[in-house]
A and B are shown apart, each in its own frame.
Chain A
Amino acid sequence: MPSLPELGIYFSLLLFITGLFGVMFRKNLIFMMLSVEVMLNAANLAFISASSMTNTIDGQVIMFFVMAVAACEAGIGLALIISLYRAKSSVEIDDLRILRG
């Protein structure tokens, strides 16, 4: 039976893969952003677990930084999605391919 921090690491891996597949296969931008948040939280969980495994505080400090960045990212990302919806009446990622080669 693995210890609690080890379980945290495994769970963070699961969360990260969930988020990654969400970004890769969802078509709606909002869901993609949510998946990105899931990935960030997976990273946070990994930091905290590692911090408790090594009895250091560094991981927890970085977690706070990441949460702050995630909050900014969510704010800017949602603002971008809204203005994109105004311009294109759509938040589907497949409609945004004007940079196609």
Chain B
Amino acid sequence: MQEQTLLTLIVLLPLVGALINAFALRAANVGIVCTVATFVVALPFIFSVMLFMGPVIQGNTLTVDLFNWVSVPLVNGKEFNISFGLTVDRLSGIFLLVITGVGSLIHMYSGEYMHHEKRPYRFFVYLNLFIFSMLLLVLGSNMLVTFLGWEGVGVCSYLLIGYWYEDKANSMAAIKAFIANRVGDAGFLIAMFLCYMLFKTINYAELAAIIAASPQTFLAENSVEITLIGLCLLLGVAGKSAQIPLYTWLPDAMAGPTPVSALIHAATMVTSGIYLMNRLSYVLVLSPTVMTTIAIVGAATAIFSATIGFAQTDIKKVLAYSTCSQLGYMVMACGVGAFQYGVSHVVTHAFFKACLFLGAGSVIHALHHEQDIRKMGGLFKKMPITSVTFLIATLAIIGFPGFSGFFSKDAILAAAWAGPFGSPILWLVGWVTAGFTAFYMLRLTWLVFFGACRAEHPDQIHETNFVITIPLIILAVLSIFGGLIAIPEVFTGKADFITSFLSPVLGQAQSIINASGIHATHLSHSMEYGLMGASVLIVFVGALFAIAVYKNGPDGGEKFANAFGPIYRLVRDKWRIDELYELILIRPLAKVGKFLYSFIDKIIIEGVVNGIPETLYTGTSVASDAQSGMARNYLKFIFISVFIFGLILFL
């Protein structure tokens, strides 16, 4: 089959699946619906592998222009054209594999997880639509197609968070996620407008060519606009990838079904910000201010959300804050100029975090929708497969030596120290966060799987069936070996895979960095071993500390918490950020809204709109009262008027 056809099919199949499920299989049972939905994601996975092994690995860029999407004649006689184009290169190739691969595993898993649902087709339609939008996002050949996917994933995320919409809290969480995303989307839109204003194109390939051809003076003159583009993009990234200040929606998004949390809020959608930063790396690196801001935002998010993870008692909330924190790592990697390590962490994170979420889902499923980790414990013997896979994923996320997270995270930490925009302070923040991660993850694992069982009906708990455990096993294996893509140079003697693999995409950014005179610090091998040793050390400290505190169940944590008192309460309440936003943003906005409603709308607009007909009505009712319907009255009018006219004629 032709490569172009393959690429088109990859995008279209999930859409077709969604349509089939939405219109033909409304009443079908979960088995059929899930099979269709999984098939239309698994087939694109096979196609993606074929593409990956073909043109992508050869370093070619494959582009398909499906149709001319926007065509507007301009005042100056030219035409504004945007084609609906799909492009696959090495960067989108990696995302393609992750989205369709992890996506099909999660579709399969959902078949079991959602089998109690009465009308499951709705769930799978949304999931398929999500995959379609996500593929558009990473395959778009210009910013507008990416934006279409960007909005699409936002809508699907909203629909899936609010899937159980009968519960008001879920609907509220969905609305919160949608609005927070909307703020970020506005940033992306403005960045797109500025890009067109400055470079007269929003096509990625043309943009890269124009920037490469632009003389230094042009870029220097427009440095304010370029910085603005970068900052607006960062706002978009902060919205989608849950960074400070817009991260608050992600923990609330856990109100959705667990497969959704795994697919959208851990593995794919939240990493689209990282994709965008990689895609537009040559724009971002033009402004050191932007790069530094990105790095600081990432580092701040990483450590800030890790601290909140300490005190959460909901199994999914802990994982959500950990996702925020890991996304912070990825954003920091992009910010220090090591874009490729952001991508490698996206890949490994997709494996281990999806595994963690699906494991959590397995536990929740077995415990009949119990999510409080204080009511779990001792599940290791009852659910061996879930426990082992969860443990592997935990070791991967905390960066236990040899597991995938170790390589991808240490690459980021080394870049934070030595990258072009890095500094030892950023490394320090990342290093402390690694310790925090180890602490809260081990706390979670210990409280759920070890110690005494605190569940209400311990004898009813048993291992979930194979539809759930097979994806877990596959993801656990990938969590172990996924790190191979980022094995650093010190171990192998040659540059790591991801750096050389993504060099065609990121080469331009690299040469811009080099041309601007900023250089990465060269790390000696001993230094690199030293940094690695330091992070292994803090991981062990964090992990052992967690086990020491929680070895007898959650009570150990309480003594620990009492020692900290107010700080503990602040952390447990998520630093009261939601309350702060409520105070400084939502309430004033609500007041403005109330004013607009009660004054502008009620009095001015409705006054005009209702006033005109009311005046007319009052005026005409006087005239219509004359039409009494009584013939005698009419006669009187006739007589009086004839009399008056006669009088006038006479005089």
Contacts and interface: CB of A to CB of B under 8 A. Distances in A.
Interface string B616-639: 000000001011111110011001
Contact of A99 (B624, B626, B629, B639): B629
Contact of A25 (B626, B627, B629, B632): B632
A9 interface: no
Interface residues of A, number: 13
B636 A24 contact: yes
25 contacts: A20-B639, A23-B635, A24-B632, A24-B635, A24-B636, A24-B639, A25-B632, A27-B632, A93-B630, A93-B631, A93-B632, A94-B630, A94-B632, A96-B629, A97-B628, A97-B629, A97-B630, A98-B629, A99-B629, A100-B628, A100-B629, A101-B624, A101-B627, A101-B628, A101-B629
Among all A-B residue pairs, the 6 with the closest Cβ atoms: A101-B627, A100-B629, A97-B629, A101-B624, A99-B629, A24-B635
Interface in B42-88: none
Contacts of B636: 24
Interface of B: 624, 626-632, 635-636, 639
Contacts of B628: 97, 100-101
Interface string A15-27: 0000010011101
Contacts of A23: 632, 635
A96 B624 contact: no
A24 B626 CA distance: 16
A20 B636 CA distance: 10
A96 B629 CA distance: 7
Interface string A77-101: 0000000000000000110111111
A73 to B, nearest CB: 16
Contacts of B632: 23-25, 27, 93-94
B627 A100 contact: yes
B627 A96 contact: no
Contacts of A99: 629
A55 to B, nearest CB: 28
A43 to B, nearest CB: 15
Interface in A17-50: 20, 23-25, 27
B641 to A, nearest CB: 13
Given A23-B635, A93-B631, A98-B629, 15 more contacts: A23-B632, A24-B635, A24-B636, A93-B630, A93-B632, A94-B632, A96-B629, A97-B628, A97-B630, A99-B629, A100-B627, A100-B629, A101-B624, A101-B628, A101-B629
A7 B628 CA distance: 40
Contacts of B639: 20, 24
Contacts of A98: 629
A24 B639 CA distance: 9
B49 to A, nearest CB: 81
A97 B629 CA distance: 4
Contacts of B629: 96-101
Nearest to A94: B630
A98 B627 CA distance: 11
A27 B631 CA distance: 10
A99 to B, nearest CB: 5
B626 to A, nearest CB: 8
A94 B639 CA distance: 19
Nearest to B621: A101
B146 to A, nearest CB: 64
A101 B631 CA distance: 13
